[in-house]
Every structure is written in C-alpha cells, then in structure tokens.
Amino acid sequence: MFSSDRSESQAQAAFDRALEARQTRRGLMTGGAKVAGAVALAGAAPFALGGLTANRSTQAQEATPAGAVVTGTPNEQMAEVLAAFAGFDNPPLPTVDPQVARELPSFADAYRTVLSNRGEAALEEVADITTILIPGPAGDLVGRVFTPEGDGPFPVIVYFHGGGFVIANITTYENSCRALANAAGAVVVSVGYRQAPENPFPAAVDDAYAATQYLIANAELVNGDPARVAVAGESAGGNLAAVVCLLARDQGGALPVHQLLVYPITTFAPEGDAAASLGDGSLFLNQDALLWFAGYYQPDPTSTAASPLLADLSDLPPATIILAEIDPLRAQGEVYGQALEDAGVDVTVTTYEGVTHEFFGMTRVVDAAADAVAESADRLRASFGEAGGETDDDENEATPAA
C-alpha cells in the first residue's frame, strides 16, 4: 500500500508492477483470451459500438490484452485502488459469463481492501437504512433506503447503480448512496432493477421509470417530499436516470427536479466526438467490456430509450454530469452535456483528472470522489430549493460522516 508521502510516480510504479504480475499469472501478455461471454447466446441481434458491429453468434474475437487497456495516468490515490484490484487476479470480463462475472471481486472490493489495510471503515455512516418494495412492471423491486440525519420530510434521490445492465447490484454501489445522502441531506433510494441477459432491454428502463414515478407519488413512504425528487445513476445507471427524464416528459409523467449523471452511457452507437475516448480504458472498464455488456443487454441503439443522445433534449430537468478522465465513456458524456446545453437545459459537466470509471463512490480514498460528491450535492440542493421546499442547509442540515 502507498503511504501518504509517496510520490505519484512511485504509486504508478507499484500499480504497474501489480498489473504486470497479474498479466504474467494469467498468461495474458502473449495469450489469446477469447471473448466467450459476448458470444454465448447464438442467434442474438447484433449490437453496435463505435461504428463496429458484432454478433454473438459469430466467431469469438481476441480480447485486448490487459496491459493494453490502461491509458492515461491515474493519480496516486486512484493507482492505489487499481493496484488492489489487480491483486484479485480476476479473469478478463469478456472471458466469463454473467453468472461468473457477478461473483468476481469488484472495484468496490478493491476500495474496501485499501481502507481495510489502513484499518479504516469502508462505508460512510448514515442515520438509517431500510428496505422497501416498489411495484414494478414484472413484480416488486427492492429499494434500499439511505436516510441522513434530520427530521424530514427530506428531498429524495432515486438512484440506479452501474454494472453495464448485467452485473453489480445495490450493495456494490452502496457507498455512493451513503455519500450522497449525507452530502445532499436527502433520502437516497437505490433501486434493484432487472438485469440482462435474463431480462434484456428494455426491462431495466421499464423498472427505472416505474420506480421513479412510484417514489414521486409515494415519497411520504420514505419520509420524503414529493415536490423534491431527483434521479441519479452511475454508468448504466446514469443511462437509466437520463432515459427516465425523457420518458417522464414524453409520457406526461412527473418530472424529477434534477438528473445527476455520473459517467453515463448516452449512446450505444458512438461516432465522431462521442467515440473519441473509447480507447481510454482501465482495469475497471474498457472497450471490450462495453461490447460484452451490450451483447447481453441487447439494446436497440437507434432507440432513445437506449441512446438518449439521439433524443430531443429540450424541456428536461437541470443536469449535473460527472466524468472521469480515464474512461471510455468520457467523450459521450461530454457530447451529451453539450447537447443538453444546446437544447436549453441547465447543465454542468465536470471531468475529474487522474481518475478512472468507478471513482465516484471512493470518497475516503480518492479526493476527486469527495469533490465530485460535494459538487453533485450542491447542484442537487439548488434544484431541491428551487422546487419549492426549504433547502437542506436550512431545514435538514446534513452531518458529514467522519
């Protein structure tokens, strides 16, 4: 582990050594790992990414060697988490099926490993955590409710976790929810939506929209204010948060007061400027993994319910877009932010340097994560105040976790 007085170059060198050891153990430096997971289901519809079309019934392609997908320079703090992840010796995501992938150690485990090695608690404390059931289009959905200090009624953030619509769950992204609850002084309800390949597109979209509309109409169930409900999500969850706003506008539903989009997927057919960062991968996400996720999710890349970048973006709630410098999704997030601004939406876009996809919830290790959460909370509070309720600075002052 890296001590606080070690230089960034030393941290990078340690990360590089861990990565090299991982590659050597798995034979990836010269091996020909197959993208088996992405072609497992024969006869599936083709999917597109960055102008390339693949079909899961075709011959498996060679996976990119792990050493070739780390681009950019992670800062010392980010490198420490990446080194912990490299130590898990996970097989490359495209070489396994979803059932295996869901059991592999994740970025969250790497973050918790760093904190454990320091003797520090992994998760921020919140005042209360409960579970509710949310009626969904195919049955009840689990909602985990994170409540901050205060009496309420609180603003509400309906949150959708990442994982490419295939892996991860509420627990994987729990620290993001805890951090947002504390920083924004809001109840955060993390929704366990259906995932592919068992439930391909548009199941996750249908669940996300139903959950949002239910929680706006029934905010009192979580001690929330129905006039102050926002949506938020990371990666695939950022896609869902963006699409929920489009659906609410187009279907006459209740509009959230804000959309927090953390490195969102905004198109499944990126081209031009939106494809510019596809090569900027890391151990947490690269272009091979994006293809693997899309192959199981099976979206229609021409549908605005999958690719919100294609939609008319006028008359949408204020948006905050948080991006990572080292992330294949960075460029499409930047393009989406510009498209929102061009459509007259109040939007801010911030790209945090020296960090990778999945940094947002790492608030106790990565300073940029704490800054990103604080920025997000400030924007959310502003929208909550404009929606007609008292701001949490006045009524439900959040107590930062130690």
Strands 347-356 and 47-49: unpaired
**Do residues 238 and 329 share a domain?**
yes
**Do residues 301 and 339 share a domain?**
yes
**Do residues 190 and 47 share a domain?**
no
Residue 396 contacts residue 185 (beta carbons within 8 Å): yes
**258: annotated active-site residue:** no
pTM: 0.84
**Phi, psi (degrees; rounded to nearest 5) at 159:** -115, 140
**Phi, psi (degrees; rounded to nearest 5) at 396:** -130, 65
Catalytic entry in 206, 288, 327, 392? 327
**Do residues 174 and 68 share a domain?**
no
State the burial class of residue 272 (Cβ atoms within 10 Å of its Cβ: 0-12, 13-18, 19+): exposed
> CA 85, CA 351: separation in Å to the nearest integer?
23
Would 398 be classed as within a structural domain?
no
Catalytic entry in 106, 190, 235, 376? 235
Strands 319-326 and 139-147: unpaired
Would 1 be classed as within a structural domain?
no
Nearest to 138 by CA among 79, 75, 211, 81: 211
> Which of 113, 144, 162 corresponds to the end of one domain?
113
**327: annotated active-site residue:** yes
**Tell me, what's the pLDDT at 23?**
42
**Do residues 210 and 274 share a domain?**
yes
Residue 328 contacts residue 278 (beta carbons within 8 Å): yes
**Phi, psi (degrees; rounded to nearest 5) at 319:** -130, 145
Name the residue range of residue 272's domain.
128-386
> CA 244, CA 231: separation in Å to the nearest integer?
8
**Do residues 294 and 206 share a domain?**
yes
> Which of 86, 113, 140 corresponds to the end of one domain?
113
Catalytic entry in 307, 357, 376, 392? 357
**Do residues 212 and 270 share a domain?**
yes
**Do residues 235 and 307 share a domain?**
yes
Give the SS3 label for residue 16: helix
Alpha-carbon distances, residue 401 vs 33, 112, 125, 148, 180 (angstroms): 43, 17, 6, 10, 11
**Tell me, what's the pLDDT at 65?**
31
**314: annotated active-site residue:** no
- Residues near 61 by beta carbon (within 8 Å), at least 6 away in sequence: 34, 35, 54
Would 392 be classed as within a structural domain?
no
**Do residues 218 and 323 share a domain?**
yes
Would 260 be classed as within a structural domain?
yes
Q: What is the CATH number of the domain that holds 382?
A: 3.40.50.1820
**Do residues 94 and 137 share a domain?**
no
Would 237 be classed as within a structural domain?
yes
Domain count, the chain: 2
Would 400 be classed as within a structural domain?
no
> CA 24, CA 17: separation in Å to the nearest integer?
11
Would 189 be classed as within a structural domain?
yes
**Do residues 153 and 34 share a domain?**
no
**Do residues 150 and 291 share a domain?**
yes
Question: From the CB of residue 393, how many other CB atoms can be counted at a distance below 10 Å?
Answer: 11
State the burial class of residue 139 (Cβ atoms within 10 Å of its Cβ: 0-12, 13-18, 19+): exposed
- In tens digits, the chain (402 residues) has pLDDT values of 223 333 344 444 544 544 444 443 333 322 222 222 222 222 233 344 543 333 332 222 233 333 334 467 999 999 999 999 999 999 999 999 999 999 999 999 999 999 999 999 989 999 999 999 999 999 999 999 999 999 999 999 999 999 999 999 999 999 999 999 999 999 999 999 999 999 999 999 999 999 999 999 999 999 999 999 999 999 999 999 999 999 999 999 999 999 999 999 999 999 999 999 999 999 999 999 999 999 999 999 999 999 999 999 999 999 999 999 999 999 999 999 999 999 999 999 999 999 999 999 999 999 999 999 999 999 999 999 998 655 444 444 444 444
Would 44 be classed as within a structural domain?
yes
